[in-house]
Amino acid sequence: MLFRSLSPQRGKTRTRAGWLLSALFLCSAWLTSPVQAQTTSRTYDTSFQLQQFRPWGDINGMFHTQSGITLGRMNYMAGIYLNYALNPLVLRGTPRADGSRDSTGILNHQVGADIMGGFGILDWLDVYLTIPLSIYQDGSVPNNAALFAGTAGRDLSGFAFGDIKLGLKAQALRQDKHYVNLAFRLALGIPSSLATPDKLGGENSVSFDADVMLSVQVGIAHIGLNIGYRYMPRSYFLNLELEHELRYGLGVRLSALKDRLDIIGEIAGAIAFQERDFSGEKVPLDAYLGARIYPLSQPDLALEIGIGVPFPTSGYGSPLFRVFFGVVWSPKVRDTDGDGILDKDDRCPTQPGPRENDGCPDTDKDGDGIVDRLDKCPDKPGPKENKGCPWPDTDGDGLTDNVDKCPTQFGPKENEGCPWGDKDNDGVKDNEDKCPDQAGPKENQGCPWGDKDGDGLKDNEDKCPDQPGPKENQGCPDKDSDGDGIVDRLDKCPEVPGVKERQGCPKVVLVKVTKDKIEILQKIFFAFNRDTIQRKSFGVLDQVVSVLKSRPELRVRIEGHTDDRGRRAYNVGLSDRRAKSVRKYLIKKGIDEGRLEAKGFGPDKPIVANDTKQNRATNRRVEFNIINKDQATGIENRSNTP
């Protein structure tokens, strides 16, 4: 268990923490602490502030360590802290040979409170007031007149009212401009008529504090460092001699949940120096860990809770442990919409607006971009150049007179408000006339008809405007499909080579083209019961070849048929072979095999009854049926007539 060390003799052993801190502030000690003569006979009193937990309610800082940030003009804060300390003051005797020592509790329990408030006078200057007190404490000075001259047996229990602290805090540097926040504080401790200094609650005269507060925000971490000097009326208590005190604090506040939860850790303590004696009893040093909770939607209200524990060699006022709870209310004077008018004076605090309109955005009823208070025609949209009034449109063509080249004549925007003309007087307006300087019909977009192929026919009359041709053929070049030297328009048989005397038809016409087939006018003869084509049928087949060559788009199915005599299977096979034999002949004559199909049907498709010799001869036949008549063009117009 840790105890505060109050030895009957002045301790000569200096703690490691005491040496470190004393080295840092040795210059301050020399300047502020004149050498005091050794007093051999002293009267001890309890008129000093034992409580080491001394918060100021800085919502930008930590529990004990303050930030270098002020509240800001017209901002304020108010708060209260409660804390409980166990054994903040214990007397320990001289160690025995076995290392043990006696200990006597002087102050066993202490429930403290700090009531505080602050107000921002200027953007950089705050005034603070704190009232520390002990709501309840339990303990007494040991009844030993030799050790505690003048205070032996004094009851320390009950209520203890501390010195009122009045302070000024001034901010000198701001992180957004100077990389760090830096502030200075001056404070007076003033005993009140309610003060009870004989119960370790405060001094019996005025005390004085001067502090330097440095802080910086790094990501989610807010780091603070405080160093200060405190002067108090000289007090003696056993081996404690208190008059000058160097105070310090170092803390970190982590924003775990933005505007919801902060985690705080810090160390804070003091060095009481007199005659340059820095014994462990004079170096209280505590560590604090806790959280700050913001329960409201805005971080104006803070609830703080934490625990404090001493370092092993800590001095007076450092308890065995401390728990505390605080409530701080610090609403900000805000300008939510950033228009330079504080919310309390802003009729529209969430919408930026000029001061002339009490912070509300200017209205623009006509939506022309000019606010109503500056708009000469607030109910009609108009340009800024015309003070918010619309330009007139005399001719009603949708273009205002300031941009209309013909303000008194209706005209389209494309012609700058002027009506379209007709320079060539062809009845087609210039905006639609592809040849505005040459008269031409509307059908040709105002351009005169040309003759691209130079065949003497205007393009509007020429069926083949890109190919020269005679007028008799509507401007298209003559064709000679069958290659007999007679153009198709003069050829009575354009698919079959013929002679001029017969107007392009052969002397004997053996085929003609219908919509469904190439009709042969002479039968194709085969050797008896064989698929060999007789020579006398070559003529008709050659005319079929001529038709197919003149009509390269045609595809045909060559069909073979027989009468009903004999076995059906034999007849089907014979007719199929004969059809294929004809196909081979046509291919041999230069017809692409992909255009030709061949199939035998035997006796299945008679065209007359098989009841006479003549009818059976009629049913024995070869047909050329067109199989792509939907894709072939002009069949019905190109029949061959001998």
pLDDT one-digit tens code per residue, 29-57 = 333 333 333 334 455 667 777 888 889 89
Residue 480: predicted pLDDT? 65
Average pLDDT over residues 525-529: 91
User: Sorting pLDDT into bands at 50, 70 and 90, what band is 93?
Assistant: low
Strand, helix or coil for residue 384: helix
Highest mean pLDDT among 266-275, 428-437, 522-531: 522-531
Judge contact between 236 and 43, C-beta under 8 A. Answer: yes
Hey, what amino acid is at 405?
K
> Averaged over 558-569, what is the pLDDT?
94
Quick one: angle between helices 568-588 and 538-550, nearest 10?
60
- For the ranges 191-195, 219-223, 340-344, 527-531, the maximum mean pLDDT occurs at 219-223
pLDDT value of residue 504: 61
Contacts with 11 (C-beta within 8 Å, 6 or more apart), sequence order: 5, 239, 279, 280, 281
Instruction: Among 3.30.360.10, 3.50.50.60, 3.30.1330.60, 3.30.350.10, name the CATH number for the domain at 490-637.
Output: 3.30.1330.60
pLDDT at res. 21? 36
**DSSP code, position 205:** S
- Residue 545's H or E segment, with its range, is helix 538-550
Tokens (6 digits) for 205: 């005269």
Output the DSSP codes for 578-590: HHHHHHHHHHHTT
Q: 15-29, 233-247, 334-348, 585-599 — which is least confidently predicted?
A: 15-29
Greater model confidence, 277 or 456: 456
What is the share, in percent, of the chain residues with pLDDT greater than 90?
38
**Which residue from 182, 62, 58, 176 is spatially nearest to 120, judged by alpha carbons?**
58
* CA 637 vs CA 180, 292, 464, 494, 555: distances in Å: 101, 101, 19, 11, 18
Mean pLDDT to the nearest integer, 479-483: 68
- d(CA 182, CA 170) in angstroms, rounded, equals 9
Q: Tell me which of 238 and 375 has the higher pLDDT.
A: 375
The C-alpha angle 89, 93, 98, rounded to 5 degrees, equals 130
CATH code for the structural domain at 16-31+48-91+112-329: 2.40.160.40
**SS3 of residue 118 by DSSP:** strand
Maximum average pLDDT range among 78-87, 326-335, 439-448, 477-486: 78-87
Task: Give pLDDT, residue 476.
Answer: 82
Mean pLDDT of the chain: 81
Higher pLDDT, 411 or 194: 411
pLDDT confidence of 62, banded at 50, 70, 90? very high
pLDDT tens by residue, 436-465: 777 777 777 778 777 777 777 777 777 787
Tell me which residue of 18, 91, 22, 81 sits closest to 53, measured CA to CA.
81
Specify the pTM.
0.51
Residue 472 CA to residue 470 CA, distance in Å, equals 5
Token duo for residue 127:
């005034």
Per-residue pLDDT band for 100 (boundaries 50, 70, 90) equals: low
pLDDT higher than threshold 60 for residue 94: yes
Comparing 108-112, 152-156, 160-164, 230-234, the range with the smallest average pLDDT is 152-156
pLDDT at 101 over 70: no
Task: Name the one residue in this structure whose structure tokens are 């709501």.
Answer: 135
290-306 average pLDDT score: 94
User: Comparing C-alpha atoms, which of 167, 105, 179 is closest to residue 142?
Assistant: 105
Lowest mean pLDDT segment, chosen from 67-81, 150-164, 199-213: 150-164
pLDDT of residue 228 exceeding 90: yes
User: Rounded to an integer, what distance in angstroms lies between the CA atom of residue 213 and that of residue 185?
Assistant: 8
Residues 6+ apart with CB under 8 A from 17: 269, 280, 283, 285, 311, 313, 314
Nearest partner of 590 among 552, 549, 621, judged by Cα: 549
Contact between residue 326 and residue 57 where contact means Cβ atoms under 8 Å apart: yes
Segment 214-237 mean pLDDT? 91
Q: Which stretch of DSSP H or E encloses residue 24?
A: helix 16-24
Per-residue pLDDT, averaged over 281-307, amounts to: 92
Instruction: Look at residue 87 and tell me whether its pLDDT is greater than 60.
Output: yes
In terms of pLDDT, which residue wins out, 214 or 273?
214
Domain locations along the chain: 16-31+48-91+112-329, 490-637
Residues 171 and 183: beta-carbon distance below 8 Å:
yes
Segment 586-600 shows an average pLDDT of 94
Comparing 25-34, 119-128, 200-209, 277-286, the range with the smallest average pLDDT is: 25-34
pLDDT at 630 over 70: yes
Degrees, nearest 5: CA angle 159-161-163? 160
- Say what the pLDDT of residue 311 is: 86
Please give the average per-residue pLDDT across 367-392, as a whole number: 86
DSSP assignments along 514-540, one per residue: -SSEEEESSPPPB-TTS-PBPGGGHHH
